[in-house]
């Protein structure tokens, strides 16, 4: 075959596209671009040739792409990959993946079908172990679907298994909780919709069950809109006593502050974790009432940063206790609604945090619960220092 002449580079205005001369493996690129190329590294921006090679048993079967620098390398890679997948008859696409509508994730025959490298890279026992561990954690279960069954899943997912949550709906004994140590979580992120105060009582008996009490608040004028327009049961929850409506079109924080002061009289309220957004002034007023001298051993308002560093450990610990039915939340309908709405953002290391932006509805009650749970974990250290029983030992 005579040697082809090298075509000239087209204008660099980003709109015109040249057609390479026909040759072995080259494809015309005069068709309009159908896919927007995402941002690429700077080293992919120069105009370079791009060839996608196909091999079988270490023998080159052919190649497809652009032998000349007709476009930026990033564009050339995208064009060559699309052409290889959609236009080259030598390319046989085979997808090993489960059908989320029909297949059951616990089917071991399915595991064999969608993992052609089974026995070469990992064993059936390994997949079985991964599945048994993933069943206990929604985040791990999403990873199992993604990496073992090859089902594309979003990084965001509903996080709380509601069947397990509903099994924890026994009512706390309010008389038994009087005078007990507890820790709070306060979420005041919205003045026009919903605010939440949650108290967590660590177990002080052999059953090891955490008790949860909660209060929710919204502006009175917002109840009708949320009930009629959005079909959220704010009006029913108010009539049943599960939702406190404060007068006006914004939440009156004085009502919340009064409930906190009342709780401090009934229980041994140690700490309240809070999101500083909209809550700094409230936190200051509560501290002035409950610990005016700022005694380090007294009541504390603790700011909780809204991210995986603060939420990951208490959120996962809460989930473990829900899965093992070591929680009593009384079936509070507003808290249940928030739990069902809860969406967690997961980073590459598996650390999680609530994502209010991606949640389809309010999750404030669960955010407050996780903050309270974290304070119960980290603010409940009763370990006695060794130096309180003896002096320094010199060797």
Tell me which of 30 and 179 has the higher pLDDT: 179
- Check whether residue 266 and residue 372 sit in a common domain: yes
- Residue 32 clears pLDDT 90, i.e. is over it: no
Compute the average pLDDT of residues 53-64: 49
pLDDT tens-digit series, residues 98-127 = 887 788 888 999 999 988 888 888 899 999
Compute the average pLDDT of residues 209-213: 96
**Residue 394 covered by a domain:** no
Q: Find the helix packing angle between 364-378 and 308-323, rounded to 10°.
A: 90
User: Which CATH number do you get for residue 289?
Assistant: 3.30.420.240
Number of domains in the chain: 3
Answer positive or negative: Cα dihedral of 215, 219, 220, 221: negative
pTM attached to this predicted model: 0.64
In the chain, alpha helices (H): 73-86, 108-114, 124-134, 138-147, 162-166, 174-177, 220-228, 234-239, 253-266, 280-290, 308-323, 333-341, 364-378
**Residue 101 covered by a domain:** no
- Check whether residue 178 and residue 313 sit in a common domain: yes
Residue with tokens 């939420």: 311
The pLDDT of residue 394 is: 41
Host domain of residue 37: 16-93
pLDDT confidence band for 387 (50 / 70 / 90):
very low
CB 155 within 8 A of CB 355: no
Question: First CA to last CA across the chain, in angstroms?
Answer: 89
**Residue 249 covered by a domain:** yes
pLDDT tens-digit series, residues 292-309 = 998 988 999 999 988 888
Compute the average pLDDT of residues 310-334: 93
Question: Quick one: DSSP state of residue 47?
Answer: B
pLDDT confidence band for 352 (50 / 70 / 90):
confident
Q: Find the helix packing angle between 364-378 and 333-341, rounded to 10°.
A: 90
User: HSE (CB half, 13 Å, CA atoms) of 352?
Assistant: 24
pLDDT above 70 as % of the chain: 73
């Amino acid at each position: 075959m005579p040697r082809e002449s090298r075509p000239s580079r087209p204008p660099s205005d980003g709109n015109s596209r040249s057609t390479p001369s026909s040759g072995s493996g080259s494809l015309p690129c005069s068709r309009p671009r159908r896919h927007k190329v995402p941002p690429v590294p700077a080293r992919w921006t120069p105009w370079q040739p791009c060839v996608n090679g196909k091999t079988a048993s270490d023998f080159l079967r052919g190649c497809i792409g652009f032998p000349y620098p007709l476009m930026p390398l990033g564009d050339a890679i995208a064009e060559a990959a699309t052409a290889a997948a959609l236009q080259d008859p030598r390319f046989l696409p085979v997808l090993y993946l489960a059908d989320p509508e029909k297949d059951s994730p616990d089917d071991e025959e399915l595991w064999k079908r969608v993992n052609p490298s089974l026995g070469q890279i990992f064993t059936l026992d390994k997949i079985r172990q991964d599945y048994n561990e993933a069943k206990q954690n929604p985040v791990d279960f999403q990873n199992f679907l993604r990496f073992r069954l090859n089902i594309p899943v979003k990084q965001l997912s509903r996080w709380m298994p509601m069947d397990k949550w509903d099994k924890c709906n026994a009512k706390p004994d309010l008389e038994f909780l009087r005078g007990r140590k507890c820790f709070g979580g306060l979420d005041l992120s919205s003045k026009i919709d919903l605010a939440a105060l949650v108290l967590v009582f660590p177990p002080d008996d052999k059953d090891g069950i955490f008790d949860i009490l909660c209060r929710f608040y919204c502006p009175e004028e917002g109840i009708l809109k949320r009930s009629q327009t959005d079909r959220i049961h704010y009006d029913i929850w108010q009539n049943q006593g599960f939702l406190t409506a404060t007068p006006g079109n914004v939440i009156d924080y004085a009502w919340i502050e009064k409930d906190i002061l009342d709780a401090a009289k009934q229980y041994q309220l140690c700490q309240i974790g809070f999101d500083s957004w909209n809550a700094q002034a409230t936190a200051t007023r509560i501290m002035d009432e409950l610990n005016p001298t700022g005694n380090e051993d007294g009541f504390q308002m603790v700011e909780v940063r809204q991210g995986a560093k603060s939420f990951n450990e208490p959120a996962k610990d809460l989930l473990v206790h829900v899965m093992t039915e070591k929680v009593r939340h009384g079936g509070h309908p507003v808290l249940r609604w928030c739990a069902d709405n809860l969406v967690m953002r997961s980073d590459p290391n598996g650390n999680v945090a609530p994502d209010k932006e991606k949640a389809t509805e309010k999750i404030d009650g669960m955010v407050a619960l996780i903050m309270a749970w974290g304070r119960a974990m980290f603010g409940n250290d009763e370990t006695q220092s060794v130096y309180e029983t003896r002096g320094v030992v010199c060797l």
